[in-house]
């Protein structure tokens, strides 16, 4: 089996601009399809590749296309045909990212969008066309698109295009391109019709198939959740809250995503840290130190960074972004379930990535069950269970006795349930979560920093609010400078925010009974911390 870690992007001798683009995109090392495909394409040969969304196939052909294009020459250098407009848009975006520094421009051309607008863009000149076959033919007929200068043609998701009846359109388009061209065909499956097309239009193509080593992962409970990209962070938080865990190891594709996920988690109050290739040895060591001391609950990492660390008590591995190949899946999930303990491997799958999941299931012979995300009630239930265990631990601890006396005094005149409930509220929401009606706006009354007043606003993490949202909202509504807003503390359902004393009344008037993130909110001076 080809070792992924042996090949680096620098081994491809890419131009400075393309290397810079790849690193800006946060790619640390090439995926298996890229390792195999990039050198072949750079050498000018045709390729027939079995790969699907999620494997990094776009960059596998996108990098060589950009490398070979001449920015000065504004003629169509490559045309990529895709079955759907969504894929056309996605591929064009990725191409523009790869071509960003070399100034190679790609444009998506698909049905449903104003043809006049597309014509205007085409007239200005682009290097790469990413289009659905029908609309491309439209432009060819109108003579608004000429393909004589094309050097590379890509048939992406060829099996889907075939299923959608695009075969004649593809043939027509290929005839418009020069015979002396490089042709690439990518397909998730290889039915005989695809092979026929390849035999007809590709010249001695190299076949690229990702290794099919049957690898199994014992003692790991494998679950996938179908979530949209935008729902992933919430899904992750719910799982962390609901699962009985020591450590979550969360994998993301790119360094940027690692940073984003870790900082989102921190903002939501989790003990999370990031680790990836941009970290110095010193930073890496600092994270590991924290980790060894048990101060981290969630470690967010790229594949490369995770490989270099030795951690044994990972109870949960999360594929925040789906692995680009089955091997990587098996390597990732192999980090859990060690030392005879059953581990849990969680994979987030967006609707577009279902095929990739099926490939992983087939090749890695993995049984990945569909999971249902825990409801808020279930999360609460799990939290109570964990608390119960902690309570029992405290009771079993001899040093607990001194607290009995405190509890006796605390519960004078109150029922035990009232005492427990209010302590629980403090534990979960922090002190000062109570509002006192009619408290005045003097700073010391609200427990704020000198010169500031602490306000209590009824919106919190549940509404996915971040400090920036609070600042923007208050600044806009009250017409004050966002920089004058002080400390912000976001809790599950509430937020505390400090504002200058002379502006407090104005802020309350502007914000109270307003709507934020679709929720009617109230704002009042907070009660002092006890
Ligand atoms: P694709 O299979 O082309 O749809 O790519 C799937 C995802 O992987 C996209 O978000 C790419 O930006 C990302 N990706 C592609 N190549 C790499 C790489 N070498 N390292 C990390 N992420 C990558």
Burial of 456 per CB tally in 10 Å (0-12, 13-18, 19+): buried
| Residue of the CA atom closest to atom 19 of ligand 1 | 30
Q: In the prediction, which pLDDT does 245 show?
A: 80
Run of H or E residues at 208: strand 206-209
Q: How far is the CA of 277 from the centre of ligand 1 (A)?
A: 16
- The 10 Å Cβ neighbour count of residue 242 is 20
pLDDT at 215: 35
Q: Which residues of the chain have pLDDT under 70?
A: 1-5, 52-53, 210-219, 308-310, 312, 337-341, 397-398, 428-446, 528-530
Separation of CA 326 and ligand 1 centre (Å): 14
In a domain, 62, yes or no: yes
**Domain end residue (candidates: 370, 397, 417):** 370
CB-ligand 1 contact for 30 (6 Å cutoff):
yes
Instruction: Check residue 52 and give its pLDDT.
Output: 67
Q: Compute CA 508 distance to the chain's CA centroid, rounded to the nearest angstrom.
A: 36
Provide the pLDDT for residue 425.
Answer: 76
Q: Is the CB of 52 under 6 A from ligand 1?
A: no
User: 392 in a domain, yes or no?
Assistant: yes
CA of 57 to the centre of ligand 1 (A): 7
Q: How many helices (H) does the chain have, and how many strands (E)?
A: 21, 20
Ligand 1: nearest atom to the Cα of 51? 2
Of the residues 321, 338, 370, the one at which a domain ends: 370
Do 260 and 397 fall within a single domain?
A: no
Q: What's the pLDDT score for residue 422?
A: 86
**Domain containing residue 149: CATH number:** 3.40.50.300
Query: Considering its fold, how many domains does the chain have in total?
Result: 4
Ligand 1 binding pocket includes 59 (Cβ within 6 Å): yes
What residues form DSSP beta bridges with 452?
500
Whole-structure pTM value: 0.53
Looking at residue 406, its pLDDT comes to: 85
- Diameter of the chain by CA atoms? 92
Predicted confidence at residue 465, as pLDDT, reads 87
Residue 186's SS3 state is strand
Q: Which residues contact 145 (CB under 8 A, 6 or more apart)?
A: 76, 109, 122, 129, 136, 139
Residue that finishes a domain, picked among 209, 241, 265: 209
pLDDT the model gives residue 430:
52
Residues 42 and 150 in one domain: yes
458 plus 412 within the same structural domain: no
Q: How many CB atoms lie within 10 A of CB 61?
A: 27
Q: Is 109 helix (H, G, I), strand (E, B) or coil?
A: strand
Residues in a beta bridge with 223: 346, 369
| Token output for 481 | 């400078």
Q: Which of 83, 78, 121, 81 is nearest to 99 (CA)?
A: 78
Q: Are residues 244 and 350 in the same domain?
A: yes
Q: Is the CB of 58 under 6 A from ligand 1?
A: yes
Which residues constitute the domain of residue 396? 377-428
Question: Which of 7, 253, 332, 352 best tests ligand 1's pocket when mutated (most atoms within 8 Å of CB)?
Answer: 253
Calculate the CA dihedral of residues 254, 256, 259, 262 and round it to 10 degrees. Answer: -60
Nearest-angstrom CA–CA distance, 312 and 322 = 23
pLDDT in tens, 87-139: 899 899 999 999 999 999 999 999 888 889 899 999 999 999 999 999 999 99
In ligand 1, the atom with minimum distance to the C-alpha of 90 is 4
Looking at residue 510, its pLDDT comes to 87
How many alpha carbons fall within 13 Å on the CB side of residue 223?
Answer: 15
Q: Looking at the structure, tell me whether residues 107 and 147 fall in a common domain.
A: yes
- Most ligand 1 atoms within 8 A of CB, residue of 4, 21, 31 to mutate: 31
Task: State whether 47 and 176 are in the same domain.
Answer: yes
CA dihedral defined by 29, 35, 39, 42, rounded to 10 degrees?
-60
Whole-number Å distance, alpha carbon 321 to ligand 1 midpoint, is 10
Same domain, 200 and 241: no
Per-residue pLDDT at 6: 76
Nearest CA to ligand 1 atom 9: 56
127, 39: one domain = yes
321 and 237 in a common domain: yes
Q: Is the CB of 34 under 6 A from ligand 1?
A: yes
Query: So what's the pLDDT on residue 483?
Result: 83
Rg (CA), the chain: 28
């Amino acid at each position: 089996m080809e070792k992924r870690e042996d090949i680096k992007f620098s081994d491809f001798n890419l131009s400075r601009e393309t290397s810079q683009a790849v690193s800006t995109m946060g790619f640390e090392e090439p995926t298996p399809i890229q390792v195999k495909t990039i050198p072949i394409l750079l050498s000018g040969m045709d390729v027939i590749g079995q790969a699907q969304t999620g494997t990094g196939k776009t960059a596998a052909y996108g990098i060589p296309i950009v490398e070979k294009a001449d920015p000065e020459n504004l003629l169509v250098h490559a045309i990529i045909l895709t079955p759907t407009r969504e894929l056309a848009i996605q591929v064009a975006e990725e191409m523009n990212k790869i071509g960003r520094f070399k100034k190679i421009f790609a444009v998506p051309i698909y049905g449903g969008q104003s043809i006049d607008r597309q014509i205007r863009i085409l007239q200005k000149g682009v290097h790469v066309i990413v289009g659905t076959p029908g609309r491309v033919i439209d432009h060819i007929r109108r003579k608004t698109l000429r393909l004589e200068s094309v050097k590379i043609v890509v048939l992406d998701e060829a099996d889907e295009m075939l299923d959608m009846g695009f075969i004649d359109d593809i043939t027509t388009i290929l005839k418009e391109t020069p015979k002396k061209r490089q042709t690439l065909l990518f397909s998730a499956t290889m039915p005989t019709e695809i092979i026929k097309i390849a035999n007809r239009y590709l010249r001695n193509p190299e076949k690229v198939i990702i290794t099919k080593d049957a690898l199994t992962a014992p003692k790991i409970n494998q679950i996938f959740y179908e979530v949209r990209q935008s729902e992933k962070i919430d899904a992750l938080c719910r799982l962390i809250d609901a699962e009985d865990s020591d450590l979550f190891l969360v994998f993301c594709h790119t360094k940027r995503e690692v940073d984003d996920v870790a900082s989102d988690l921190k903002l939501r109050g989790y003990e999370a840290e990031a680790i990836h290739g941009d970290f110095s040895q010193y930073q890496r060591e600092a994270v590991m130190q924290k980790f060894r001391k048990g101060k981290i609950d969630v470690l967010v990492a790229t594949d490369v960074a995770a490989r270099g660390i030795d951690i044994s008590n990972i109870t949960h591995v999360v594929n925040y972004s789906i692995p680009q190949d089955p091997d990587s899946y098996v390597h990732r999930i192999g980090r859990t379930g060690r030392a005879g303990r059953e581990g849990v491997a969680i994979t987030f799958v967006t609707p577009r990535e279902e095929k990739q999941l099926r490939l992983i299931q087939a090749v890695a012979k993995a049984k990945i069950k569909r999971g249902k995300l825990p409801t808020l009630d279930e999360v609460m239930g799990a939290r109570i269970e964990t608390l119960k265990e902690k309570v029992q631990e405290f009771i079993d601890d001899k040093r607990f006795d001194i607290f009995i006396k405190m509890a006796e005094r605390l519960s004078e005149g109150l029922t035990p349930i009232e005492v427990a409930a209010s302590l629980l509220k403090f534990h979960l929401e922090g002190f000062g979560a109570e509002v006192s009606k009619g408290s005045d706006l003097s700073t010391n009354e609200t427990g704020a920093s000198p010169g500031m007043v602490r306000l209590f606003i009824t919106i919190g993490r549940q509404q996915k609010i971040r400090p920036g949202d609070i600042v923007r909202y208050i600044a806009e509504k009250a017409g004050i400078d966002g920089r004058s807003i002080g400390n912000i503390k976001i809790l599950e359902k509430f937020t505390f925010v400090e504002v200058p004393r002379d502006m407090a009344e104005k802020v309350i008037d502007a914000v109270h009974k307003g709507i934020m993130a679709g929720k009617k909110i109230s704002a009042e001076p907070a009660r002092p911390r006890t």
